[in-house]
């Protein structure tokens, strides 16, 4: 397995509600880990719609962080 340098961007698949989406979200591994520290959060491309039951909790330069839990709290 190849180790990714800390500051290098890595392509991840968009985690929007569209199961067929293959959009690419570029982020650093540390950003990915930060987003997913909360199991109810995930990253989506900004242009992708948020569906009922989801809320954008943070906008970053290349993607949005969406949460399902944010609606209940």
Q: Dump pLDDT digits (tens) for 10-23.
A: 999 999 999 999 99
How much is the average pLDDT of 31-39? 94
Q: For residues 73 and 38, is the Cβ–Cβ distance under 8 A?
A: no
Greatest Cα-to-Cα distance within the chain, rounded to the nearest angstrom: 40
Beta carbons within 8 Å of 44's beta carbon, 6+ residues apart: 14, 15, 16, 25, 50, 63, 64, 66
Q: For residue 70, name the pLDDT band (cuts at 50, 70, 90).
A: low
Q: For residue 48, list its beta bridge partners.
A: none
How much is the average pLDDT of 16-42? 94
pTM: 0.82
How big is the CA angle at 43 (ends 38 and 36), to the nearest 5 degrees? Answer: 25
Q: For residue 72, name the pLDDT band (cuts at 50, 70, 90).
A: low
In the chain, the percentage of residues whose pLDDT exceeds 70 is 95
């Amino acid at each position: 397995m190849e180790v990714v340098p800390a500051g290098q961007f890595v392509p991840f698949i968009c985690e929007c509600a569209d199961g067929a989406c293959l959009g690419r979200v570029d982020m650093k591994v540390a950003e990915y880990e930060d987003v997913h520290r909360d199991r109810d959060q995930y990253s989506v491309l900004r242009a992708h719609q948020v569906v009922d039951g989801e809320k954008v909790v943070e906008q970053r330069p290349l993607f949005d962080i969406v949460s399902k839990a944010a609606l209940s709290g």
